Structure 1
Amino acid sequence: MTDEEILHRFNTCPQPASTTLGAEVLDIDTSAGKVTLRCTATREHCHSVDWNPKGGIVQGGFVTGWLDAAMATACIARAKFAVSVPSLEIKVSFLAPAHPGIYLAKGWIQRWGRTIAFLEGDLRDTSGKLIATASSTAMLAPLPATANANAA
């Protein structure tokens, strides 16, 4: 599969979690092990909606979800949908609040092992301001060939 075919597959068959998160895959570079997601934060992703003049502050679980999705997508793309990527651990550093709007979540592979991947990611607003960073350790769980073929 080419990067364009992988991108098409992600965006025509989105995972339910991606829909809930408001995430869309924008760019894939499997040779570099990198992806970029566009994440749309809505008031429904926020707490403190009523008193905050910017429409609320995005709950940290959604920020974590965007970063986790970007990092996992990098793995799934590299493996061409042949693995699932359960997180073994994830660390997020929240550097600035996110408010309703558009964000870019980038995820990349730091190290790819036989059964484990080490991943990193960051979340930025559209002006490039760094909102959060993440690192993760994920299991590379092979999917049966029939599951991968059926998903195509």
Structure 2
Amino acid sequence: MSDLELHPEDQDWESPAAVTLGKRVISVEPGRVKAAYHAGENFLNRGGRIYGGFLAAMLDGLCGHAVRSTIDVPGTPQVTLELKTSFVGRADKGELIGEGWVRHRGKSIAFAEAELRRADGEIVAKGSATFKIGK
């Protein structure tokens, strides 16, 4: 399947990095995505919690996915210019539910936000990102 045939709701649309993070798309609409991640033992730091770098990668992926869902021409490149992450709760192994949304999008720059929550609904991390769209 070529990039032009992939759609944001398709699991095959995901990058190898998203697959490594255990991402499973729950829903997609233009400018918004909801996904689950499975964090196993290999995601843990020495304290037994999910390593912050994995949480940041999940937030970056949620923001990026939300931005990609607004692009009219499949295969249009985008790159993260900035990512801010705030760790606000305990993140244990298991499933995390994330939501990402576009806060503002222009022709070549987009701003997005995301949150990750434990299965019990408690927030563990928040992020915001700036993206360059196109070449």
| Class of the TM-score when normalised by the shorter of the 2 chains | 0.7 to 0.9
Most deviating of 77-86 and 129-138: 77-86
Determine which structure has greater relative contact order: mean sequence separation of CA pairs < 8 Å that are 6+ residues apart, divided by chain length: 2
- The CA distance in 2 between the partners of 1:28 and 1:35, in whole Å, is 4
Q: Contact conserved, 2:98 with 2:117, CA < 8 A, in 1?
A: yes
Secondary structure, counterpart of 2:24 in structure 1: strand
Match of 2:26 in 1: 26
1:110-125 equivalent positions in 2, closer than 5 A: 110-125=103-118
Q: Contact conserved, 1:76 with 1:82, CA < 8 A, in 2?
A: no
From 48, 66, 76, give the equivalent of 2:68.
76
Secondary structure, counterpart of 1:72 in structure 2: helix
Q: Which amino acid aligns with 1:126?
A: A
Query: What are the ranges of 5 or more consecutive residues in structure 2 without an aligned counterpart?
Result: 1-6
Match of 1:94 in 2: 87
Give the structure-2-normalised TM-score.
Answer: 0.88
Give the structure-1-normalised TM-score.
Answer: 0.79
Larger CA Rg, structure 1 vs 2? 1
Please report the RMSD computed on the Cα atoms of aligned residues, expressed in angstroms: 1.4
Q: Which amino acid aligns with 1:39?
A: Y
Q: Contact conserved, 2:21 with 2:37, CA < 8 A, in 1?
A: yes
The structural deviation recorded for 1:13 is: 4.1
Q: Contact conserved, 2:8 with 2:68, CA < 8 A, in 1?
A: no
Q: Which runs of 4+ in 1 moved over 3 A?
A: none
Alignment deviations for residues 33-87 of structure 1 (CA, whole Å, 9 cap, x no partner): 1101111011101112xxx5xxx21110100011110110011122153422211
What is the total number of aligned residue pairs between the two structures?
Answer: 128
From 16, 36, 39, give the equivalent of 2:37.
39
Q: Percent identity?
A: 28
Match of 1:147 in 2: none
Match of 2:119 in 1: 126
- The CA distance in 2 between the partners of 1:87 and 1:12, in whole Å, is 21
Match of 2:9 in 1: 7
The structural deviation recorded for 1:113 is: 0.6
- The CA distance in 2 between the partners of 1:14 and 1:114, in whole Å, is 23
Structure with bigger helix share is 1
1:130-145 equivalent positions in 2, closer than 5 A: 130-141=123-134
Q: Which amino acid aligns with 1:73?
A: H
